[in-house]
Structure 1
Amino acid sequence: FCYYSRELVVQARPAARKRKRFNPQCSRDVPVKSRIDCHPQPGASQEKCEARGCIWCSTNMPNAPWCFFPEDSPYGYSLNGNAEKTLKTMNTKHKQNNHLSLSICHRWDASLSDLIFSNQYLQITTTVPSTSVYGFGEHEHLSFKHSMNFATYGMFSRDQSPTPFANLYGVHPFYMCVETDSNAHGVLLLNSNAQDVSLSPNPSLTFRTIGGVLDFYVFLGPTPENVIQQYTEAIGRPHMPAYWSLGFQLSRWGYGSIDVLKKTVDRMHYYDIPYDVQHSDIDYMERRLDFTYDKVNYAGLPEYMQQLKKEGMHYVLILDPFISKDEEPGTYRPYDLGEEMGVWVNNSDGVTPAVGKAWPDGHSVFPDYTNPRTVDWWTQMCLELKDVLDYDGIWIDMNEPSNFDRGQYPGCAVNDVNNPPYIPSISDRALAQKTLCPDSKTYLGEHYNTHSLFGWSQTAPTFHATQKATGKRAFVLSRSTFVGSGKHGGHWLGDNFSQWKDMHLSIIGILEFNLFGIPYIGADICGFNYNTTYELCLRWMQLGSFYPFSRNHNAEKNSVTEFAKISRETLRIRYSLLPYLYTLFFESHVHGNTVGNKVPASWLKNYATVDAPLSKIPLFLRGGYILPKQAPATTTTKSRLNPFGLIIALDDQGEASGSLFWDDGDSIGKFVKNGYRGADSLKYNTITILGLRLRPHAVALNGRTVRGDAFSYQTNGVRAALRH
C-alpha cells in the first residue's frame, strides 16, 4: 500500500459567488468530457450558474452538464508554502496557479483545487486511469461495467423496489477500476451520509456527500481478486455460512395458513425436489407483530417446525425492525421491555420516541441498534422467541429503516438538517421519504448521519443473538447493508419483478455484492412482484440454482407454477456441486476471495453457439481445475452422507488442480480436529476426467493400478471416468 509520509498543509479558499460572465465561446474553456457539474441539484439556469462563478454552455452530449466549473477556478484549496515531496510512489504537483494535487500510486489523482469542504456539503473530483469502473451500490445497474457518460448514482438506504438509477436498500461507496494494463485497484469512501457519485468520460469521478468526512481507502491489487481480498481484510472477511444454508430455500409472502404451508412442503417432497430451508414471512405473525405467531391460522407451527427439523430441514423466520406501541400495557412484552430499557430512536428532543407507521396496525417505534441497551433487548427477545419457535436463522427486513409515512408523527421540522442546502441524487430528492426525519436522535448522533447504518447496526446483534440461541453457525439475511455487513450476514436483491430483465440484472447485482464483500447473495427466483410465466420461471430456476444464496420467494396472491421434473434436475446439479461451493465460501471467509469466477480472456474474442433446450441449462467448466462433488439427495443433511466424486477438467497442458474444505457444516469458529469421522469415512466413487487427448490403456490412482473394468472411456476422446 502507499501512504503519506508527511502532513500536507493546505489553505481553503471560499467558493467564488459573484464573477464576470465568461466568453460566449464557452465550449473552448473546458472540453465537454471534462465538465464537472457546478449545479448538480435540479433547477439549473444560466443566471443561477453564473452567479456561482461557473460556465453555462449547452451541448448535444446526453447527460453532460450545461453548468460546469471553469478549468482553473479558484474555488477549492491552494498551497500554503512550498510543495513537499513524499515517498517515491506519491506525487505532489505544484501548478502555476498555486493549486495542489495528489496522486496515490498513479491510481487516484485528485486536485485539491477541486475540493469543496463546507458545512453540509463536501465534494472532490478524481481522475481514474481507465473507463473500466465497477461497483457503487446499491443500485440496479444495467451493466457490470459502468457507463462513464455522465451517470450519477445516489447512495442513501431506501425501501425502494429495484429501479435503474434509484438508490436502493444498502450503501456501498466502493469501486474497482481495471486499468488499461489489466492491473486493478479499488477505492472506498467510508461515509454513511447521503451522497452521490458522478461518472464522467474524462474519465473522472466526482464524489458529493452532505456530512461526515472524506475518508478514502485505496487498495492496490494488482489483480481484481487481490483488490477484493485487500478490501475485505480492511472491512471484515465474509462470514462462513452453514452448509445447510447453501441448499435450496423456499419462501412466500402470504401462505396465509399452516395448511397451505404444509401442502407446499408436501408437494416439494412428493416431487423429490432438493430443498433444505423453509422461510416464514410476516403472515406467520399475530397481526404482524414481531416475536409472535398467529395461533389461529398457524396453530401448531412450533410442532411443525420441530417435525421439519427432525426430517433434516431448517427453518428461517422474518423479523421487522419496528415495534407496535398501541397494544394494551402488559400484553406485548417486546414493547414493554423496550420502553423500560429505553431502546428507541428518539425525536429531535432526544427524549420522546419517534413514532411512525409500518406493518403493525397503528403506530410503531423503532429500535436504535447503535445503542448497547438495544443490543441486550434484541438478544433477549430473540432468545425468548427461540423457546417458542425453534428457528435456525433470522431474516431481517425493512431495516433501511422503512416507514410508510414521510418522517414520523407529526412531521419533520423545517431546519437545515431535515432540508439541507443540497440533497444528493436520491429518490424524490427527499431524506425523510419512506423513513424517519433526519433530525431524529440515535445513540451515535442524528439520524442525518446514521440513517444508512441502521441495517448494518442490526445485523451484527442478530448474528450474535442467533448464534447464542442455536449454539450453531448463525444464518442472518438482511435487506439493508453497509460496508462490512458481509461479516455477519447475507443479502438478497430485494423486491424484484417477474420480468426477463430482472433475471438478467440479478447476475450483475450478484457480481457487485461479491465486490462489496457480501458473497452470500441471491435474488428472488422467478421474481417477487407480478405473476411469472412458465418459461421465465423455469429459466430463472435453472439460473437461480447456481446463485450463492438460492431462494424462490414471491409476493402474496402470485400464482404458483409447477415444473417439478426440470427443477429437480437442475437443483440436483447444484447439490452435487455443493462441496465446491462450500469450499469457495471457505476461501472467501479466510482469504477474502470472491464466490464466482472471471470469464477467460479467450471468450472475449470468440463466440460459440450452444444448444439450450428448455429442459437444460448449459454448464461450463474451466480447464485446469478440479471440482469436488457429492451424490445429491433431497437435503444437505442426507447428501453429506453420500460418496464424493471429482470432476477434473484438464488445461491445454493436460494438468488440473483443486481443493476441498470439509467440516461438520455448522460448528462455530475455526478449529482443526484430527480424526473427524465425517471426512475420512466418506469415499470417492467416481472420478471424471475431461479433456484427455489419448485413450488411456492403464490408469494409476495414488500409485496403484486400476483394473480395466473399473474405468470407462468415451469414444470422442474428451471424457474418462473411474468408478470405485
Structure 2
Amino acid sequence: MKSYQKLTTAVPQPAACRVEEEGAAPTPAGRGKLAPWWVGSGLLVAAVLLSALTVWVLRQVSGGWPGPALPPKCLLVPESHRFDCYPERHVVVTQELCESRGCCFIQSPPLAGGKRGVPWCFYPPDFPSYALDSLNHTALGMVGLLVRREKAYYPRDIMMLRLDVEFETDTRLHIKITDAANPRYEVPLEVPRATKRAENPIYSLDFSRDPFGVLLRRRATGTVLLNTTVAPLIFADQFLQISTLLPSRFLYGLGEHRGPLLHSLDWSTLTLWARDVSPTESFNLYGAHPFYLLMEEGGDAHGVFLLNSNAMEVALQPAPALTWRTIGGVLDFYIFLGPDPNMVIQQYQQVIGFPAMPPLWALGFHLCRWGYGSSNETWQTARAMRNYQIPQDAQWNDIDYMDGYRDFTFDPQKFASLPSLVEDLHKHGQHYVMILDPGISSTNPHGSYWPFDEGLRRGLFLNTTQGQPLIGQVWPGFTAFADFSNPDTQQWWLENLQRFHAHVPFDGLWIDMNEPSNFMDGSEEGCPPGELDSPPYTPAVLGDSLSAKTVCASAKQKASVHYNLHNLYGLMEAKATARYASIPLPAGLGMG
C-alpha cells in the first residue's frame, strides 16, 4: 500500500455517550443530556484561553467593542470548530441577526481576497438538535426515531425523523434520515438492496442520544471516520444540514469544480448545481457528484456518498470538518470503508453503477473542432490525415453540421455530402461522432420539424407551472427542453436517433448542453414567484439564483419538479441515449 504523509490532527470525542452496540437488545433511548462536545480539562482550558486572547486582540485592534460580554459557552468553541449558523450570502451578519437564531457572535478578520473565513455567527455547544428517542434492531441493521423538541430557524422544521441503518456489506454502511410521518422526494435511481446483514463488518457504529449523533469507527485502527456530534442536525423542508469531523485533511472529490485535486479545508465551500460556464475557480460547474474520498492518517481510505440530487453545498473547515447543506430530499448516505482508494471507488460504483465498457476505437485518436465550414472541409481534413499517415480513429462534428442548429438535421447545402463522408470513413475503418443538444427548436412552422411537433403532441417537454412547454433559448433560438424523466421521452428520443441514423449512420453521440444550459435565466417569461425558484436558502450558486442560465426550478417534469431533478438531467439524457446502442436497429444500421 502506498505510504501517505501522516497528520497529527486529533479528533475530539464526545464523552458519556450512551452507545448502541451492534449486538445489544433493542432499548428505548434515554433523554439524558449529552456531555459537552469538547471534553477534557486540558482542551477546555486551551480553548478558553485561545478564544479569550483572540477576542482581546480584536478588541484592541478595533478600539474596543461596546455591548454585553460574550457568554462563556461561546468562548469554549475553538475557531476551527465554529460551524456556521448564518451561511447566507450577501447578508451583513450582525450580532442581532445572529443571536436571533440562538447562536454565538464573535467577529473575526476576513481571509485574503475577500474570501469567507472563520464564521462570525456559529453554533453554541448547547444549540437545540434532535434526540434519539428510540432505537430498535432490524434484520439488516437498526431503525430509530429522532425527535426535535425546539424549532430551528428555517421554515417548516420537521420535528420527527426516521433513522434507518443497514449494515449492507462488510465494507459498506447505509445511513438514511428522512421525515418519519410524510413521504419526501428521493432520487429516482435504482440502487442495490442488501438482503442480509453484513457478518463481519470492518467498522463499528455508535450513537450519542441527546443531541443525536453518529460515530463511525474503523475497527482495525480505531480511527473515527464520522463524528456528527460536533454541530446540530437541521432538517427543515428546504434546508437540511449535517456536519462531521474528518480524520485528516486529505480530502478529494465533491465535483465538479476547477481547482486542485486535494481540497483546501481553510474555510472553502463547494457548490453542487449543474451549470454551463467556463471553468472558474470557486463556482459550480457542469456536473454534481456528492461523493468524497478521504485518505486517513495511517494510509487507509474511505468514501462517503450522499444520494441527493437537490442543490447543495459542502463547507470545509480546518478542524478538519465538513458540513453538508442541501435544500431538499433526504439525507441518504453510503459509507465505503475501502480500505484502499481503489477498493473505495469499486464499492462506490457498486452503488451508482459501473461505467460502460467503451468500444476499442473510442480509445483511439479523435479529431474535433468547432468551425468546419462544410462536410467537404471535414472530409478534406480526414483525407489530409491519411495522406500524412497520421493515425485517426474517429472524426467529429460540432453543431455547425446542423440545419439552423436544430437537432436531427444537417445543413442541405454546406453539409449535403455528410452521408457520403460517413460512408467513406467507414470504408477506411474509421468512425463518426456528432453532437446533440437537449433543446429542441420551437419556432418552426407546424408540420415542418418532426422532433418538436411529435414531442409537443405527446407532451414530452418540461412544462411551466401553467402546464405549457417551458421555452428557453439555446443555439437554434427559442427552444423546448426534453423531459428525460418521462419514459415516453426516452422512446421519442430513440425514434429520432433511428430516423437520423437512416440518413447519417453515426457511430457515437456527443451529448452537450445538458445541465440543462439556457441562454436566458429560467424562461422567456422568467420564473414565477414561489419557494421553488426563490427558496428560503439558496446555496452559493453562480448567479445567485437556481435559474441562472438554466430553466426554472419550478418547471414540471414527469418524475418531479426540476428543483429536485436538475442535477440528474444530464444523467437521464445519457441513459436515454445509451439505450440506443443496446436496441437492435433495422438491417444495415448500428453503432460500432
- TM-score normalised to the size of structure 2? 0.73
Deviations 1:486-527, CA, capped at 9 Å, x for gaps: xxxxxxxxxxxxxxxxxxxxxxxxxxxxxxxxxxxxxxxxxx
Q: Distance in 1 between matches of 2:412 and 2:30?
A: 66
Structure 2 counterpart of 1:227, which letter? V
Query: Partner residue of 1:40?
Result: 87
Cα distance in 2 between the residues matched to 1:453 and 1:233: 19
Corresponding position: 1:386 with 2:504: no
Q: Alignment identity in percent?
A: 39
Residue aligning to 1:56 = 105
Q: Deviations over 1:334-355 (max 9, x none)?
A: 1111112111111113x21111
TM superposition shift of 1:254:
1.6
Map of 1:115 onto structure 2: 233
- 2:451 aligns with 334
Alignment match, 2:123: 70
Q: Distance in 2 between matches of 1:345 and 1:423?
A: 22
The Cα shift of 1:78 comes to: 2.3
2:422 match: secondary structure: helix
User: 2:548 matched to 1:433?
Assistant: yes
Q: 1:374 aligns to what?
A: 489
Equivalent pair of 2:83/2:231 in contact (CA under 8 Å): no
In 1, are the aligned partners of 2:231 and 2:243 still within 8 Å (CA)? no
C-alpha distance 299-27 of structure 1, shift in aligned 2 (>3 A): same
What letter is aligned with 1:182? G
1:10 is displaced (CA, Å) by 9.8
Q: Which residue is 2:196 aligned to?
A: none
Deviation at 1:180, TM superposition (A): 0.4
Separation of aligned partners in 2, 1:379 and 1:301: 21
Q: Higher mean Cα deviation, 150-159 or 22-31? A: 22-31
CA contact (8 A) 1:370 1:442 kept: yes
Aligned to 1:104: 216
Relative distance call for 1:21 and 1:445 in structure 2 (3 A) is farther
Could you tell me which residue of structure 1 aligns to residue 63 of structure 2? none
Question: Counterparts of 1:9 and 1:386 in 2: how far apart (Å)?
Answer: 63
SS at match of 2:228: strand
Secondary structure at 1:378 match in 2: helix
The match for 2:473 is 357
- Give 1:64 shift: 2.2
Distance 1:449 1:21 in 2: 44
Q: When the two structures are aligned, how many residues end up with a matched partner?
A: 462
Classify 1:7/1:193 alpha carbon distance in 2 versus 1 (closer, same or farther; 3 Å): farther
Match of 2:160 in 1: none
Answer yes or no: is 1:218 the counterpart of 2:350.
no
1:3, distance to aligned residue in structure 2 (A): 11
In structure 2, what residue type is equivalent to 1:58?
Answer: Q
Q: Tell me, yes or no, if the aligned pair for 1:78 and 1:112 is still in contact at 8 Å.
A: no
Q: Which residue of 2 aligns with 1:468?
A: 583
Who is 2:43 aligned against? none
Given that residues 258 and 280 in structure 2 are in contact (C-alpha distance below 8 angstroms), is that contact kept between their aligned partners in structure 1? yes
Q: Distance in 1 between matches of 2:589 and 2:120?
A: 54
1:250-649 maps to which residues of 2 (within 5 A)? 250-349=367-466, 351-361=467-477, 363-468=478-583
Question: What secondary structure, in the 3-state scheme, does the structure 1 residue paired with 2:474 have?
Answer: coil
Check the 8 A contact 1:177/1:185 in 2, yes or no: yes
TM-superposed deviation, 1:391: 0.2
Letter in 2 for 1:102: V
- Shift in Å, 1:314: 0.2
Report the Cα offset of residue 55 of structure 1.
Answer: 1.8
For residues 247-272 of structure 1, the C-alpha deviation after alignment (integer angstroms, 9 at most, x for no partner) is: 01111112121232123222222221
**Are the counterparts in 2 of residues 323 and 366 from structure 1 also a CA contact under 8 Å?**
yes
Q: Note closer, same or farther for the CA distance 1:347–1:61 as it changes in structure 2 (3 Å cut).
A: closer
Answer yes or no: is the 8 Å Cα contact 1:467–1:473 preserved in 2: no
Q: Is contact 2:463–2:556 with CA below 8 Å preserved after alignment?
A: yes
Comparing 22-31 and 200-209, the one that deviates more: 22-31
What's the secondary structure of 2:539's corresponding residue? coil
The question of 1:124 aligning with 2:171 is answered no
Letter of the 2:97 counterpart: K
Q: What is the deviation of 1:7?
A: 9.5
Given the superposition, is the C-alpha separation of residues 102 and 305 from structure 1 closer, same or farther in structure 2, using an over 3 Å criterion?
Answer: same
Residue pair 1:197, 1:207 contacting (<8 A) in 2 also: yes
Superposition deviation, residue 32 in structure 1: 1.0
Which segment drifts farther, 295-304 or 251-260?
251-260
SS across alignment from 1:80 = strand
Residue identity matched to 1:377: W
Distance 1:246 1:473 in 2: 22
How far 1:71 sits from its partner (Å)?
3.6
Q: CA deviation at 1:301?
A: 0.7
Instruction: Flag structure 1 segments of 5+ consecutive residues without an equivalent.
Output: 14-19, 476-665, 667-724
Name 1:140's counterpart in structure 2. 258
- How far apart, in 1, do the equivalents of 2:470 and 2:245 lie? 43
Structure 1 CA distance, aligned partners of 2:242 and 2:28? 17
Give the superposition deviation at 1:22: 6.1
CA-to-aligned-CA distance 1:437-496 (integer Å, 9 cap, x gap): 111100011111111111111111101113436699998xxxxxxxxxxxxxxxxxxxxx
Distance, in Å, in 1 between the alignment partners of 2:405 and 2:334 is 42
Question: Structure 1 residues 317, 91: CA separation in 2 closer, same or farther (over 3 Å shift)?
Answer: same
Look up the equivalent residue of 1:125 and give its one-letter code.
S
Misfit runs of 4+, over 4 Å: 2-11, 24-27, 81-88, 469-475
Secondary structure at the residue paired with 2:583? helix
Residue 242 of structure 1 contacts residue 474 of structure 1 at CA under 8 Å; is this kept in 2? no
Could you tell me how far 1:408 is from its partner in structure 2? 1.1
After superposition, the Cα gap between the structure-2 partners of 1:83 and 1:31, relative to the gap in structure 1 and judged at 3 Å, is: farther
Secondary structure of the 1:114 match is coil
Aligned-pair distance for 1:58? 2.3
In 2, the alpha carbon distance for the partners of 1:101 and 1:210 equals 21
Whole-angstrom CA distance in 1 between matches of 2:28 and 2:354 = 33
Q: Following the alignment from structure 1 to structure 2, what is the Cα–Cα distance between the partners of residues 248 and 24?
A: 66
Q: 1:312 and 1:8 mapped to 2: Cα distance?
A: 69
1:663-707, Cα deviation, whole Å (9 max, x unpaired) = xxx6xxxxxxxxxxxxxxxxxxxxxxxxxxxxxxxxxxxxxxxxx
SS in 2 for 1:429: coil
Question: Structure 1 pair 264/81, CA: closer, same or farther in 2 (3 Å)?
Answer: closer
C-alpha separation in 1, matches of 2:103 and 2:327: 21
Which stretch of the first structure deviates more once superposed, 437-446 or 110-119?
110-119
* Matching residue's letter, 1:355: I
In the alignment, structure 2 segments of 5+ residues that lack a partner are 1-19, 34-66, 143-200, 218-223
TM-score, normalising length: structure 1: 0.60
**Superimposed CA distance per residue, residues 146-205 of structure 1 (whole angstroms, 9 cap, x where no aligned partner):** 111111000001111111111011110000111001111000011000000011111110
How far is the alpha carbon of 1:425 from its aligned partner?
1.3
